Amino acid sequence: MRILGIETSCDETGVAIYDHDQGLLAEALHSQIAIHQEYGGVVPELASRDHVRKLLPLIRQLFADADIGPESLDGVAFTTGPGLVGALMVGASVGRSLAWAWGVPAIGVHHMEGHLLAPMLEAEPPEFPFIAMLVSGGHTQLVEVQGVGHYHLMGDSLDDAAGEAFDKTAKLLDLPYPGGPELSRLATQGNPERYRFPRPMTDRPGLDFSFSGLKTFALNTLQDAAKTEGEPIPEQTRADIARAFEEAVVDTLMIKCRRAVRETGIKRLIMAGGVSANQRLRERIGEMMAKEGGAAYYPRLKFCTDNGAMIAYAGCQRLMAGENDGLSFSVTPRWPMEELSGLSQAG
């Protein structure tokens, strides 16, 4: 089965063609960073308009890169939630229309299921069952995965997700958008011994996350530095604060992942979502899983952020299992992953 995948949930327009037998045939991505940079964050209306401009040209480029035509497709998959409602509507309406025009089935895909299954695109994918840590700008979740659609939510973010906390703290440090990667770059110059931030909710049972307090702690630390060192705050101090913040987030995520592995006895852990590209986090998770006698799995860096390949793969699994959304479609900006149906077979 050969599937076109479309991802337009936020500020990246992603398309890809996935073949169940041959793997990923082609993928293309357009980022809107330049559009939203001057505003310091995503402007939903601008995001939707740019998806409209870029989606069809990207799909034409995709077919040229794969050297195939629409007649070779067996289905179309598109993100229908969670995400920005206007952005989701662009991808869903275009995807459903193309599927109708080409006479192939279409299916809406859960954005986070796409992230969860992204490591399956790699040469050595994990076997089921595994623990998934989904860590992005909007979500920080620990999920026990028995198969495609068979998900048990073990822990969730109670307030700010890890990626959101990265971005907000980066803004406090006057770093450009997108803030998370910029904060990580600054942290490499920081002194790890100067500051120590709290590791939220690690001193109590459970697997839930809370990162809003870390942002407040960073703000208070910056304000104290301004009083003692003057403004503008020296670059080294800003780097030291960035390092302390990153270490606190990484430690917290690692501790919760280790707790989940020990509670379930499952020795395979996948990490996906935008924050999974963080190199310090990958190092710590890899070291922890080696000590636990297990293994960690990640998507390649370009598939950590939003992309069409993960949507094409997830859609392929569901279409192969006989699911089909019919001619109607809707989008769901808020969509708990536990509501997804489990597949009796996964390819």
Q: In the chain, which ranges are E strands? A: 2-7, 12-19, 23-31, 75-81, 106-110, 130-135, 140-147, 150-155, 268-272, 295-297
Q: SS3 for 322? A: coil
* Percent of the chain as helix, strand, coil, to the nearest 5: 50, 20, 35
Tell me, what's the pLDDT at 137?
87
- Residue 153's domain comprises 128-298
Render pLDDT for 51-101 as a digit per residue (tens, 0 to 9).
Answer: 999 999 999 999 999 999 999 999 999 999 999 999 999 999 999 999 999
Q: Over the Cα atoms of the chain, what is R_g?
A: 21
Binding residues for Fe cation are 111, 115, 306
Mean pLDDT on 206-224? 96
pTM metric for this prediction: 0.95
Q: How far apart are CA 277 and CA 129, in angstroms?
A: 23
Q: How far apart are CA 271 and CA 115, in angstroms?
A: 9
Residue 48 lies in a domain: yes
pLDDT bin (cut points 50, 70, 90) of residue 26 is: very high
Q: Are residues 145 and 112 in the same domain?
A: no
Binding residues are 111, 115, 134-138, 167, 180, 278, 306
Find the angle CA(314)-CA(140)-CA(106) to the nearest 5 degrees: 20
Binding residues for substrate are 134-138, 167, 180, 278
Tell me, what's the pLDDT at 328?
85
Q: Is the pLDDT of residue 345 over 80?
A: no
Q: SS3 for 153? A: strand
| Angle of helix 162-172 versus helix 179-187 axis, rounded to 10 | 70
Q: How far apart are CA 132 and CA 145, in angstroms?
A: 7
Q: For the chain, how many structural domains are there in total?
A: 2
Mean pLDDT on 170-189? 95
Last residue of a domain, one of 280, 298, 316: 298
Q: Which of 224, 133, 218, 210 is nearest to 168 (CA)?
A: 218
Residue 347 lies in a domain: no
Q: Are residues 47 and 138 in the same domain?
A: no
Q: What is the CATH number of the domain that holds 190?
A: 3.30.420.40
Q: How far apart are CA 315 and CA 340, in angstroms?
A: 13
Residue 40 lies in a domain: yes
Tell me, what's the pLDDT at 326?
87
